[in-house]
């Protein structure tokens, strides 16, 4: 049996900010969810590697129209002040991603510090 972590709700809340930002065109939710120095590494549908500070994507991700994103939690793991979330991330335009997010509890607040992803077609 898998036990629910003490901070499960707080961790999921941060991930919901990330998902909701795409659907509500709200860059402030991305700013709240991610640490200022968070990075993203991902492989796109063509197999190309991209890596940069994730904040470089915020304006594009929050730009209208809504992405119609559906996020499905695959796993949430927490050990002390560190957590990892695996997320299936699908949008209305049929593009899908498998995301791995690392989080830290910094001064009592959960923040995403790193995202690794691959396009679901890979």
Starting at the edge strand found earlier in the chain, the sheet holding 82-90 runs 49-53, 34-43, 109-119, 96-106, 82-90, 70-79
Report the chain (122 residues): mean pLDDT per 10 consecutive residues: 74 97 96 98 96 96 89 95 95 82 97 96 84
Query: Cα–Cα distance between 104 and 4 in angstroms, integer?
Result: 17
Residue 4 is predicted with a pLDDT of 61
Q: Which domains does the chain have, with CATH numbers?
A: 8-119 (3.10.450.50)
């Amino acid at each position: 049996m898998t036990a629910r972590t003490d901070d499960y709700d707080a961790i999921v809340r941060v991930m919901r900010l990330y998902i909701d930002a795409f659907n509500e065109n709200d860059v402030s939710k991305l700013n709240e969810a991610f640490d200022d120095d968070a990075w993203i590494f991902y492989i796109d549908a063509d197999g190309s590697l991209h890596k940069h500070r994730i904040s470089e994507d915020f304006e594009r991700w929050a730009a209208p129209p809504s992405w119609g994103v559906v996020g499905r939690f695959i796993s949430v793991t927490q050990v002390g002040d560190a957590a990892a979330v695996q997320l299936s991330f699908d949008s209305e335009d049929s593009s899908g991603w498998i995301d791995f997010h690392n989080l830290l509890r910094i001064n009592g607040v959960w923040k995403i510090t790193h995202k690794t992803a691959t396009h679901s077609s890979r």
